Each structure stands twice: as structure tokens, then as C-alpha cells.
């Protein structure tokens, strides 16, 4: 289905009312293949847009938005205690998590309630509560936007990193992901080390996948703004990794600086804490604001334009650079 001169307000969780010249929605992989083959060799400006929960539009989009709507969750096979599950790029991410938890398959439970669709999770390597989706991705199936050919990427070819993958770097804007295969387990190794997960679980009595999902959902609902109520795209910036030297320097003036060390010994600082120290928590300029509970989230209080939200984010970023000497990297993609 192809739409012309369409508003993207419903297609992005900031609720920005920009327009796209065209939007092409595909329920079937074959139709998308045919479309890209037809346009092979012509100059096209494409943008793949899933749920629009990690994107900030600052202007109308002159080109064609490609919107994957491929549905379907299926069992593809078994490898010992592991089960391979496939999901279409258009499936709502949390529907997939809900269904796997219900079926006793572990691996995705900590990633409950993250907005967006399945296709984007391999672009972004989504993560929460100590888990990243890369740990369970087996294969990514995609179509080349340039000529409609199909390619399957095994996990190592996706070059996953912290909120990063090959699809954000050398292959940026070159593929439409249509399906992802996940390797889940009937005997999962649970990740309960993050935050208060363990304490909350002990209150519920049993350590089941359903209980982990329940706690993650209620914690997220208490901490993060619901895009259905107030426009936002979750964390606007990534948590920065710093060297031990930089850490020591900051700690001289800010001894209470919280620090996380990852398994490889890297030092990560919560960007929300840095932003809060700069006095931005709960501040607003017109309808563009910094969330009152989580300073890492930029919010649209109503009618902010994408440009106003972007300008606010740059002010926040400059404050953090001036105060801590740290240049925050955006997690949200600005178009």
C-alpha cells in the first residue's frame, strides 16, 4: 500500500506532525522485493520506519518512508534445550516478548515493554535490565533497498555493540529487515543482577519468567513516561563510557557519581545523572521538556516541533560538556 503526502504524527512516538512525500507499507516480503526491484537503478531517498520510537523528525521527509508490517511468530526448530523462534519485522516487540514468556521460553523477559517493532531491535541492539537482544539473535533476514535481493545475516555479521550494529554503520539505510530468528531456551540462564530485580522477585515468591516480566513492566511503568500519554522516545542519549582518568577527575568534584562497570571492565556513567546535576530535570522550554522523573528522557508536552526538541537536547548536551567535559552521544536518531 502506498500513501502520498502523509502525516507522520501517528508514526513517531514524539508525536511530531511532519509529512512524508510517500509512505510504502508492506505486509509481505515478496511485495517489498518487487517494489525495490522495480525501482532498481533509480535515485531514491528511503527511510525505514518501524514504530518510530527511536526517531526525532525535525522536518518534512522528502522521499519514501518504508514501513514494514510483516506479521507472524513461528517456531522454526530445536537445538537441544533451545528453540528457534522467528518473528516478522512488523510484529510489536512486546507482543513477541509476551508470547515467548507465556510459552516458557526464556531470553527476552528482561526486555519487556520496550516500544517499537521487531525489525528495529537488530538495528538498535535494544537492551534493558542487564540484557541485550544480541545475546539471543540467531539470524536477521533483510532485503537490499538498492536492488531487492535478499540477504541473511548471522549474528556475528551484525557487528552488535552497545545500542549499535552494522545496520547503523556501514550498512546504514541499505536494508529492510523483514524477519528475525531468535534462539530462546526452555532452560534459560536468568539475568537478575540488575537494579532491584532480585529483591522484587523474592517478594513475589517464585523466580519465573512471568514474574520477571511482571516486575520489569511495573518498574518501567513507574519510571518511564508512556508515549501514549506524553510524546517521547525513551533515553535520548547513550550512557557514556569513560576512562579511569576521566572518572577520577569527575569524582574529585562529584564524589557521589554513580558508576557501572561492565563485564569487560569498561566504566559507564548514567547520562541521566549527569543531566540532572546540570539542573535540567523537569525543566521545559515551551512544550519541549526534560522528564520530571528521568532526566535522560526528552518529552513533548503537547505541540513542540521536532526542531524545538532537538534545540533543547543540544542545550542539555552543551551543559553536560561544559560541566563534566563529556560529549553525550545521541541514542535517538534525528532526521
Ligand X SMILES: Cc1cc2nc3c(=O)[nH]c(=O)nc-3n(C[C@H](O)[C@H](O)[C@H](O)COP(=O)(O)OP(=O)(O)OC[C@H]3O[C@@H](n4cnc5c(N)ncnc54)[C@H](O)[C@@H]3O)c2cc1C
Active site residues: 163, 235, 331
In angstroms, rounded to a whole number, what is the distance separating the alpha carbons of residues 253 and 242? 16
Query: Does 177 engage in binding with ligand X (CB under 6 A)?
Result: yes
Give the CA angle between residues 297, 220, 53 to the nearest 5°.
Answer: 50
- The stretch near ligand X (CB under 6 A) out of 79-87, 231-239, 249-257, 278-286 is 231-239
Q: Pick one of 60, 200, 287, 333: the residue that binds ligand X (CB under 6 A).
A: 333
- What is the residue-wise DSSP string for 120-172? HHHHHT-EETTEEGGGGEEEEEEEETTT--EEEEEGGGG--BTTB-GGGTTTT
Tell me the CA distances in angstroms from 4 to 67, 68, 269, one per residue in order: 13, 17, 44
Tell me the CA distances in angstroms from 321 to 271, 274, 282, 314, 318, one per residue in order: 11, 10, 20, 10, 5
- First-to-final CA distance of the chain: 23
Which of residues 230 and 246 has its CB atom nearest to ligand X in the complex?
Answer: 230
Which of residues 143 and 316 has its CB atom nearest to ligand X in the complex?
Answer: 143
- The stretch near ligand X (CB under 6 A) out of 36-44, 121-129, 182-190, 251-259 is 121-129
Query: Does 239 engage in binding with ligand X (CB under 6 A)?
Result: no
- The stretch near ligand X (CB under 6 A) out of 25-33, 47-55, 148-156, 268-276 is 47-55
Q: Pick one of 24, 97, 158, 176: the residue that binds ligand X (CB under 6 A).
A: 176
Query: Does 299 engage in binding with ligand X (CB under 6 A)?
Result: no
Query: Does 48 engage in binding with ligand X (CB under 6 A)?
Result: yes
Chain residues that interact with ligand X, rule: CB under 6 A: 13, 47-55, 68, 89, 114-117, 119-121, 123-124, 126-128, 167, 175-177, 224, 227, 232-234, 333
Amino acid at each position: 500500500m502506498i500513501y502520498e503526502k502523509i502525516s507522520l504524527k501517528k508514526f513517531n512516538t514524539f508525536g511530531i506532525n511532519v509529512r512524508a512525500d510517500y509512505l510504502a507499507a508492506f505486509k509481505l516480503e515478496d511485495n517489498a522485493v518487487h517494489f525495490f526491484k522495480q525501482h532498481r537503478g533509480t535515485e531514491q531517498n528511503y527511510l525505514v520506519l518501524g514504530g518510530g520510537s527511536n526517531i526525532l523528525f525535525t522536518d518534512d521527509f522528502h522521499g519514501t518512508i518504508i514501513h514494514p508490517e510483516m506479521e507472524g511468530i513461528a517456531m522454526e526448530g530445536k537445538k537441544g534445550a533451545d528453540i528457534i523462534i522467528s518473528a516478522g519485522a512488523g510484529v510489536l516487540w512486546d507482543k513477541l516478548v509476551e508470547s515467548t514468556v507465556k510459552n516458557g521460553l526464556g531470553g527476552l523477559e528482561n526486555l519487556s515493554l520496550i516500544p517499537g517493532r521487531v525489525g528495529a531491535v537488530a538495528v538498535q541492539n535494544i537492551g534493558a535490565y542487564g540484557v541485550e537482544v544480541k545475546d539471543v539473535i540467531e539470524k536477521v533476514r533483510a532485503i537490499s533497498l538498492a536492488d531487492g535481493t535478499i540477504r541473511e545475516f548471522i549474528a556475528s555479521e551484525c557487528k552488535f555493540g552497545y545500542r549499535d550494529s552494522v545496520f547503523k554503520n556501514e550498512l546504514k539505510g541499505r536494508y529492510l529487515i523483514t524477519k528475525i530468528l531468535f534462539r530462546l531456551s526452555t532452560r534459560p540462564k536468568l539475568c537478575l543482577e540488575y537494579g532491584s530485580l532480585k529483591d522484587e522477585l523474592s517478594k513475589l515468591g517464585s523466580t519465573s519468567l512471568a514474574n520477571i516480566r511482571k516486575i520489569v513492566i511495573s518498574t518501567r511503568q513507574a519510571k518511564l513516561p508512556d508515549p501514549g500519554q506524553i510524546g517521547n522516545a525513551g533515553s535520548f542519549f547513550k550512557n557514556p563510557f569513560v576512562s579511569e582518568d576521566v572518572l577520577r577527575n569527575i569524582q574529585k568534584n562529584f564524589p557521589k557519581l554513580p558508576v557501572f562497570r561492565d563485564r569487560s571492565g569498561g566504566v559507564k556513567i548514567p547520562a541521566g545523572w549527569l543531566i540532572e546535576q546540570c539542573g535540567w530535570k523537569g525543566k521545559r522550554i515551551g512544550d519541549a521538556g526534560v522528564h520530571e522523573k528521568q532526566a535522560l528522557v526528552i518529552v513533548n508536552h503537547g505541540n513542540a516541533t521536532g526542531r524545538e526538541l532537538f534545540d533543547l537536547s543540544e542545550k542539555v548536551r552543551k551543559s553536560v560538556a561544559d560541566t563534566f567535559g563529556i560529549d553525550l552521544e545521541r541514542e535517538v536518531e534525528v532526521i
